[in-house]
Amino acid sequence: MRESEEALETRVWRRLAIVRENVAAALERSGRGPDEARILVASKYYAPEQMRALAAAGVDLLGENRAQDLAAKQETFGDAFEWHFIGHLQRRKAKDVVGRVGLIHSVDSVALVEELAKRAPEEGVEILVQVNVSGEESKYGVSEGDVERILEAAAGTEGRVRARGFMTIAPAVERVEDVRYVFTKLRAIRDRLRGCWGPHFELSELSMGMSNDYIVAVEQGATLVRIGRTIIGGDGP
């Protein structure tokens, strides 16, 4: 039997409340303010009726992984949400993303920065530099040593591309403590670069942590956590 709209909204609200409580507790433990981390819901996991339930539950920030899905979902939901792009972005797809999102989390090459600059609207494009902190070959992102090449490229666009911080994806592990180092290192990279790059970029954002490890990520300084199907699925967050 198909779940009623009311039952779906109630389930989403309850599960989202757990995530919010966990984020709030992690912020308190780390000595941060209650508004210092935002919950981004990864919309690739959600059907249209489920996205309506997200809106009803107070979700205001969605992240999309694919350019074509971003366009389709925005046609339906428009400004009901703030939209970010969180998937790997190919240069040829940049034109389909620029102007549709407030922040691109996954910039990992000078070539992509240059393409975004070409496509940038008058107000510019805001990005995060994706860093492969763990060094896994299966992960996108630049090494720590290449981060400044991306920042230099963005600085050279005269404001068309602006870096707001960094993103990473931690390895999948059984013990969440085993990836704490990933988040600690990304924060250290941000803190190290913030001083010298301050005149150009604020570098205030750290997009790190997903459904299985977001609590540890917030404890280590995440300002954006990317939550997937845990809000709608059968397993707890």
The answer, as to whether pTM is greater than 0.85, is yes
pLDDT mean across residues, the chain: 94
For residue 85, tell me if it sits in a domain.
yes
By residue range, what is the domain housing residue 55?
5-231
- Look at residue 176 and tell me if it is in a domain: yes
The total number of structural domains in the chain stands at 1
**Residue 37 domain-assigned (yes or no):** yes
The answer to the question of residue 22 being in a domain is: yes
Say if 236 falls within a structural domain.
no
SS3 139: coil
215: nearest Cα among 16, 21, 17: 21
Residue with tokens 């704490």: 180
pLDDT digits 0-9 by tens, 191-208: 999 989 988 999 999 999
Mean pLDDT across the stretch 46-63?
92
Asked, for residue 116, whether it belongs to a domain, the answer is: yes
Q: What is the pLDDT of residues 103-143, one digit of tens each?
A: 999 999 999 999 999 999 999 999 999 999 999 988 999 99
> Alpha-carbon distance 205 to 164, whole Å?
6
User: Does residue 29 fall inside a structural domain?
Assistant: yes
CATH number of the structural domain spanning residue 205: 3.20.20.10
DSSP-based three-state secondary structure for 188? helix
| pLDDT category of residue 2 using cuts at 50, 70 and 90 | low
Q: Is the pLDDT of residue 235 over 60?
A: no
Residue 237 is assigned to a structural domain of this protein: no
Which tokens is 167 given?
Answer: 């993103």
Of 235, 233, 234, nearest to 41 by C-alpha is: 233
